[in-house]
A = this chain, B = another copy of it.
Amino acid sequence: MLNIPDSEHQRIVIIGAGFAGFNLAKKLAKRNFQIVLIDKYNYHQFQPLLYQVAMAGLEPSSIIYPLRKAFQRNKNVHIRIAEVQSVNSEGKKVETSLGTIYFDQLIIACGATTNFFGNKNFENLTLGLKSLPESLTLRNAILDDLEHALMTPDYELRQGFIDIVIVGGGATGVELAGALAEMKRYIIPKDYPELNEKEVDIHLIHGGPRILMGMSEKASSKAHKFLEKLGVKIELNKRVTDYDGTFVSTKDGDRIRAHKVIWAAGITGNKIDGLPDNVFASGGRIRVNQLNQVEGFEDIFAIGDIAYMANDDFPNGHPQVAQVALQQSNNLAYNYIKQKERPFKYKDYGSLATIGRNKAVADLPKLKMAGFIAWLLWLFVHLMSLVGFKNRIFVLLNWTWNYMTYDQSLRVIVKAAKHVHQDDD
């Protein structure tokens, strides 16, 4: 049971502590509401830098922030680490792995997860990069496989351990491909002199006609050039049809041997049971009106990646990015605090993607850039967006260190040991 005390205030239950839910809780924390924030992890994670954790460039702790620390001074905020099982809109309650919680207002901010398009092989055998545990798994898999490669004299078998396939040329796929290419160039020759780094192939397979489809054509082509210069093998208009754990198959009959296939080809809303079917739009998103109210409900809202708000400017909903999540939660907080009904209006500040050392692309409202200045901008924006002063300092130090030494020092395979009591409950 969730053991939430009674309160004279309205109870707002928030599902999810990502950009949208975390920001909303922060804004409402000092107001006259009782906030219950539910997440399956006890931290807020900064998703845009997960790929750097996977590449051993940053520590997990630098890009996440403990929820209890964030709300230390807010006695009306109750944090519960639990999985949400279903929403009961009539009974105004949510069922969780820890029991039932009643709400006056419910905010669904559970975000999106990897979309495998129903393919069980992709789901079971490829690696995602949507959460911290997944990024640590990828880190361990890369390092484990390099160790195995050392002891594999057979050429073909060895390629399976060292080659990597990234499916999907969006921001995640592009940034990861760039980081892997730099690992191939700067780290492998030093750490694994027994391996021939020229054997390491990084494949970026993309279904569309250009990478970074969400950005301008200029950004796409610049990023494409940067990646090719780093040695990434980009294949456009190519469709991955299957993966058996050893070989990736494509529609045109290619087979690539790789034990690590990173699936960055799409996202879908985290499923919420109990809501009527008609509120769900394409991509598992939940239809909301301009106030972020879920269609047909007055007391249930959806914000961030999970929300599907169609209007004239965005007939297919807003892009599923941090900026939308932050702005929607800001608007919703404003409406709660001021008791207003101000419709949401998205202000696009532009988008950025980094490819590697000194290389990034930026589409700003009035300017498109590529190269060193765009890279500095990327660093600055990401640094300032991190939660917590200490995180900013530690990330800045790590980046400076890695930049100066052409090295990362976090290449350790770490897994927690088993604890019986913990596994029992």
B-binding residues in A (CB < 8 A): 1-3, 41-43, 59-61, 64-66, 68-69, 72, 75, 78, 80-81, 98-99, 124-125, 127, 131-134, 136-138, 140-141, 143-144, 147-148, 150-153, 190-194, 245, 259-260, 388, 390-391, 393-394, 397, 401, 407, 409-422, 424-425
A selection of 29 A-B contacts at a CB cut-off of 8 Å is A3-B150, A3-B153, A3-B194, A42-B147, A42-B411, A42-B412, A43-B412, A59-B59, A61-B409, A65-B409, A66-B409, A66-B410, A68-B191, A69-B191, A69-B411, A72-B190, A80-B150, A80-B151, A81-B147, A124-B420, A125-B420, A125-B421, A127-B419, A136-B417, A137-B416, A137-B422, A144-B422, A245-B420, A260-B421
B-side contacts of A413, CB under 8 Å: 41-43, 81
Closest to A191 in B: B68
Also in contact, A66 and B411, with CB within 8 A (given A3-B150, A42-B143)? yes
Greatest chain B CB density within 10 A among A124, A127, A397, A409 is at A409
Main secondary structure of the interface of A (DSSP, over half): mixed
Q: How many copies does the complex hold?
A: 2
Contact between B193 and A140 (Cβ–Cβ < 8 Å)? no
A137 to B413, CA, bound (A): 15
Closest CB in chain B relative to A380 CB, distance in Å: 21
Contact between B153 and A417 (Cβ–Cβ < 8 Å)? no
A260 to B425, CA, bound (A): 14
A127 to B422, CA, bound (A): 11
Which residue in B75, B134, B419 is a CB contact (below 8 Å) of A141? B419
Closest to A150 in B: B3
Which residue in B78, B190, B390, B401 is a CB contact (below 8 Å) of A409? B390
B-side contacts of A153, CB under 8 Å: 1, 3
Closest to A411 in B: B66
Closest CB in chain B relative to A280 CB, distance in Å: 26
